[in-house]
Amino acid sequence: MEESDLKDMSFASHMSFLTNKRLHELFMMRDAMGVEAGTTFAVEMIMAYGSSLDAIFKEIESVLDESQRYEVLSIFSKYKNLLYKENKTIQDRYKMYEMLSVIHRLMNSYLQMFQYFFRIEAKPLKGIRNTIKMMGWDKDESISGVAKK
């Protein structure tokens, strides 16, 4: 591997670290605002929750496909229509909160498509018997007696 390759890998790793750190801070703020909005239904807290979701959306929209962007933006549009309504009822505030909760879940599911939050991986095989099995040698008649001993 050449030195320039190492620099590129280092740069990519550092940028991933910075991006993940920035997103983590936004997620922490979003979660706090979401809890507060969901327990008080105060317009100010719902607006703060919406703003935190909007900030996250701006960070991730470049990796979303057209239908994903459209889905989030159409819900934001409905949310904003209620936001600008005069004399919001408790039902209006609840609807606003629910719309933002849907956006929250959608963005999490879109990020999980990239295995952003967690990965499901098989444990690595260990030992000679597992190596024989992994290589398919346990089905090879010429060496199957060796694997069973």
In terms of Cα–Cα distance, which of 53, 108, 48, 44 is closest to 75? 53
Cβ contact 30:56 at 8 Å: yes
Read off the pLDDT band of 102 (50, 70, 90): very high
Residue 4, both tokens: 């320039």
pLDDT in tens, 3-38: 555 444 444 666 678 888 888 899 999 999 999 999
Distance CA 137, CA 22 (A): 48
Domains of the chain in sequence order: 3-118 (1.20.120), 121-149 (no CATH)
pLDDT in tens, 111-149: 888 777 766 766 665 667 776 777 777 776 665 555 454
Distance CA 142, CA 136 (A): 12
Q: What is the mean pLDDT of residues 63-72?
A: 95
